[in-house]
Structure 1
Amino acid sequence: MNIQSRLDDDADSGRFKAPSGPIEQVRYACALGALASVIAIEGAISITHCGPGCASKQFRALSGVSGYQGGEFHAPSTNIGNREVIFGGADRLDELISSTLKVMEAELYVVQSGCIPGLVGDDVANVVNAYQRRGVPIVFAETLGYRGNNFTGHETVVRAILDQYVAQQAGSAPQTRKGLVNVWSLLPYQNPFWRGDLAEIRRILEGIGLEVNILFGPASLGLEEWRAIPAAELNLVLTPWLGLSLARRLESVYGQPFLHVPAIPIGARATGAFLRQVAEAVEADPARVERFIAREEREYYHYLRDFAGFYSGCASQYKLPSEINIVSESAYALAIAKFFVGDLGLNPGVFVLTENPPDSEQAAIRAAFRDLAPGVDGEPIFEPDGHRAHDWIARRPRIGEYPILFGSTWEGSTAGEIGAPLVEISYPATDEVVLARSYVGYRGALQLLEHAYTAVVRQSTEENPEPSAS
């Protein structure tokens, strides 16, 4: 099957369904925004075949208003206009690829096409195939904005790299490396904390003796890890749904099993269970696993003991929250809900999931929100529209509850309306500058507690500038 046929199959599979009507305060980019995923791979360059400004706007939107992450944005673009709409833009793309190869050095070039080439029918695959036949490390991904968002665009780009680059590097029978795990988790740049979170996931997996292909961000070795993907013993999907199709693809091509853990672990209870589950899947040394968990838990509970002094002693001084509400993409919403409901005992409020996941995945996501704590279920709402998300939270009846709201900058007015402190954990986040912060694992949970209860204290202090010292 050629490249174009595979892409057409993906587009027609029904994995993405655009919401009907206009969306207010949309929480994702278009499929071309997956260029951020390419930028997150050390040694890779995205070449975009799209209209003027499309590429820069996509990256600036994801990087700039998602914790001011920054990043190396070097994405050549055809910036096609009226001439290419009338006569086609394939020649313009060919010229751009040729020029890019002369002036920009990379281990991999990823050509992404946008809306205009898709509408006018440019044969981008044929242009790229010519360079592939010459041995250029280049792949093609059709990331048409009207076919999906940057979540589904991410999977399209990764699948293109797997099929057109990794498969060529691996040969026919890659040798499995004992203890090597591929991690498919948070979407680069969409989540403000992805860099720190992936680094922490790598740290704890290496702590139990595993070798890890983390694949994206500064914690990754770049394309060296991508070339090693077929040698992995296991694919670990650490999100409610993103990456599942990739793991299934690798299972069919290389026979690699995969482990799906929907909830990214936050805190000692979830992280210990997660590490034991992964260790069992790869038959890691149980004694080493338990030693690492014991060492991490000793430090974690030392800090938690000290936090308990604040938690028990300041209830009369500050409005400590009793109800948690979340507006976020599903991966963080599930992880944070499980931590605050399961570990801290907060009551579940409204959980709004914003990334518009495929219809085929929504039942499994709903199931993942059950049993947040023994006998306590959450009911997620799939809603990409910010105004409707506000209504869901603001109209919830509350009697005797102190709510806390985890969301984006856009939830500021909602938090004020319900009298809740706001903790920014989702896109867009313009009141936070994020570099290497993490909220997952052992260390991330402590930072999350610091951040959340600093917001609680700050709001209480603003409402009562002279609190009692008792």
Structure 2
Amino acid sequence: MSLLEDTKTNSISRPRYGCAIGATHTAAAIPGVIPITHCGPGCADKQYVSLAFYNGFQGGGYSGGAVPPSANISENEVVFGGDNRLRELIQASTKIMAADLFVVLTGCIPDIVGDDIPSVVSEFQQKGVPIVYAETGGFHGNNLVGHETVVRAIIDQFIGDYSGNKIKNTVNVWTEVPYQNTYWRGDLGEIKRILKGIGLKVNILFGHDSKGVTEWLDIPKAAFNLVISPWVGLGIAEHLQNKYNQPYLHIPAIPIGALETSEFLRKVSKFAGLNSKSTEEFIAKEEESYYKYVEDFSDFYSEYWWGVPARFAVVSDSIYSLSITKFLVKQLGLISVKQIITENTPEEYKEQIREEFRHIDHDVNLEVEFLEDGYLIEEALRTAAEKPAIIFGTTWDRDIAKELKGNIVEIGFPSSYEVVLSRSYVGYKGALSLIEKIFTVAISASA
């Protein structure tokens, strides 16, 4: 099949995201929250197997995996509607399952046939049951879109209005999408650590470092919101600005390594009005530790030149693509030959992302491609002007890496050859782990 013929089919092979109901994992990533899926049989399970299992084998935790109750909609609900089925499911779930909040997520079938989800859920809300709903049928978009839908549902239906005072030096962080981003748990932990280090109280909101629903109830009290991604979370921050009069700071790239992380902390500190002296003291301490390890590494880096990959490609969603590219170019001195973003980025954000890549460094101007189809991605790598010695991608990029006689570092969904517990690739500590991974892969391949 030619490239043109594949384009005409309008099909997508090997997409690197789930459908909107994959945002079940957004709910499950909040401690004490249980998702309830109102969808056909297998929908939620398929999202778990792809996003959480064959993606670093992250596990389901307290309320993910096989735990979420599901309506398992059948032909009967398609013909006669599924309102009663959902009502029974919520009654049973709230009776036997312990949760601080329930989140009902809908699949394609109830959204198409027109089940009255708001009405059913409101019956329980009026009785004091902590429950919200989010319309997440697959045709609404992918799981990144679903993520923002679920977050807004919790804000509007559960947290509600707030007109009290803001707590000084408190920040809500909006960044990686739980489970979609393979290393989200460790990354959020490192982001929270460094932000606390400069004197902020941090609502990290997801994962083991979150306080769960009590932290979410504190969202309106925060002094500001921090969005650390090219576009995911911007809609949430804008909504919070309108709803609670909260300003927000947008930093497009998650910081990796001392150079980017120190600059990141200075920007946040200035925006928050923190004590610059205290910020610089924390930065100096972190940099001292970081560069001691880098100094140890420099013996290898300077002597093992025959095994060090000079050229690389990144095939990832925009959150990791921009961040890793900046780190590799600015701090390791590697040369980019191809940048591909895979998440079906909304059109209104693409030019902004292109501009970020055009200013990776003072003398480095890169062009980025937006591709979702696995076949087209392979063709783009295969026909690149220079062959990448290392590809930062996914399990689906292993074959093309082998064909090009290059190496592969799996950094995103799906990652079926990585077991991920708390590993991080961001900040000061995460960058050291990333360096270890890159060059372990490089020298192992040459053995």
1:365 aligns with 2:359: no
For residues 322 and 394 of structure 1, the distance between their equivalents in structure 2, rounded to whole angstroms, comes to: 18
For residues 286 and 162 of structure 2, the distance between their equivalents in structure 1, rounded to whole angstroms, comes to: 41
Q: Matched residue of 2:206: which SS?
A: coil
Q: Matched residue of 1:204: which SS?
A: helix
Q: Matched residue of 1:178: which SS?
A: strand
Matches within 5 A, 1:88-237: 88-167=81-160, 171-237=161-227
- CA deviation vs aligned residue, 1:289-330 (integer Å, no higher than 9, x gap): 1111000000100111111111111113x2x11112011111
- 1:30 aligned partner: 19
For residues 297 and 365 of structure 2, the distance between their equivalents in structure 1, rounded to whole angstroms, comes to: 26
For residues 63 and 342 of structure 1, the distance between their equivalents in structure 2, rounded to whole angstroms, comes to: 32
For residues 142 and 188 of structure 1, the distance between their equivalents in structure 2, rounded to whole angstroms, comes to: 19
> Could you tell me how far 1:20 is from its partner in structure 2?
7.6
Percent of counterpart pairs with the same letter?
48
Letter in 1 for 2:169: G
Matches within 5 A, 1:26-425: 26-72=15-61, 73=64, 74-167=67-160, 171-316=161-306, 318=307, 320-398=308-386, 403-425=389-411
For residues 453 and 177 of structure 1, the distance between their equivalents in structure 2, rounded to whole angstroms, comes to: 44
Q: Matched residue of 2:312: which SS?
A: strand
Distance 1:270 1:118, change over 3 A: same
> Could you tell me how far 1:402 is from its partner in structure 2?
5.9
- 1:447 aligned partner: 433
Q: Matched residue of 1:345: which SS?
A: coil
After superposing the two structures, state which structure 1 stretch, 30-39 or 389-398, moved more: 389-398
Letter in 1 for 2:334: L
Query: Given that residues 115 and 144 in structure 1 are in contact (C-alpha distance below 8 angstroms), is that contact kept between their aligned partners in structure 2?
Result: yes
Letter in 2 for 1:357: T
- CA deviation vs aligned residue, 1:252-283 (integer Å, no higher than 9, x gap): 11110000000000000000000000000111
For residues 378 and 418 of structure 1, the distance between their equivalents in structure 2, rounded to whole angstroms, comes to: 22
Gaps of 5+ in 2: 1-7
Letter in 2 for 1:40: A
Query: Given that residues 357 and 365 in structure 2 are in contact (C-alpha distance below 8 angstroms), is that contact kept between their aligned partners in structure 1?
Result: yes
- CA deviation vs aligned residue, 1:199-252 (integer Å, no higher than 9, x gap): 000000001110000000001111111000001111000000000000000001
For residues 322 and 47 of structure 1, the distance between their equivalents in structure 2, rounded to whole angstroms, comes to: 48
RMSD: 1.2
TM superposition outliers: structure 1 runs of 4+ over 3 Å: none
Distance 1:245 1:294, change over 3 A: same
Letter in 2 for 1:338: K
Q: Matched residue of 2:168: which SS?
A: coil
Equivalences, count:
436
Q: Matched residue of 1:111: which SS?
A: strand
For residues 29 and 199 of structure 2, the distance between their equivalents in structure 1, rounded to whole angstroms, comes to: 26
| TM-score, normalising length: structure 2 | 0.96
For residues 310 and 80 of structure 1, the distance between their equivalents in structure 2, rounded to whole angstroms, comes to: 58
For residues 20 and 153 of structure 1, the distance between their equivalents in structure 2, rounded to whole angstroms, comes to: 26
For residues 237 and 80 of structure 1, the distance between their equivalents in structure 2, rounded to whole angstroms, comes to: 37
Query: Given that residues 162 and 244 in structure 2 are in contact (C-alpha distance below 8 angstroms), is that contact kept between their aligned partners in structure 1?
Result: no
For residues 175 and 136 of structure 1, the distance between their equivalents in structure 2, rounded to whole angstroms, comes to: 27
For residues 402 and 456 of structure 1, the distance between their equivalents in structure 2, rounded to whole angstroms, comes to: 12
- CA deviation vs aligned residue, 1:171-226 (integer Å, no higher than 9, x gap): 54122001100000001001110000000000000011100000000011111110
Gaps of 5+ in 1: 1-18, 462-470
Q: Matched residue of 1:292: which SS?
A: helix
Q: Matched residue of 2:55: which SS?
A: coil
For residues 365 and 154 of structure 2, the distance between their equivalents in structure 1, rounded to whole angstroms, comes to: 39
- CA deviation vs aligned residue, 1:30-86 (integer Å, no higher than 9, x gap): 000000000000011111110012112212211111100002222111101100111
For residues 232 and 65 of structure 1, the distance between their equivalents in structure 2, rounded to whole angstroms, comes to: 36
Query: Given that residues 337 and 388 in structure 2 are in contact (C-alpha distance below 8 angstroms), is that contact kept between their aligned partners in structure 1?
Result: no
For residues 438 and 404 of structure 2, the distance between their equivalents in structure 1, rounded to whole angstroms, comes to: 17
- 1:467 aligned partner: none
Q: Matched residue of 1:432: which SS?
A: coil
Query: Given that residues 324 and 337 in structure 1 are in contact (C-alpha distance below 8 angstroms), is that contact kept between their aligned partners in structure 2?
Result: no
For residues 366 and 216 of structure 2, the distance between their equivalents in structure 1, rounded to whole angstroms, comes to: 37
- 1:437 aligned partner: 423
For residues 185 and 263 of structure 1, the distance between their equivalents in structure 2, rounded to whole angstroms, comes to: 10
Query: Given that residues 27 and 428 in structure 1 are in contact (C-alpha distance below 8 angstroms), is that contact kept between their aligned partners in structure 2?
Result: yes
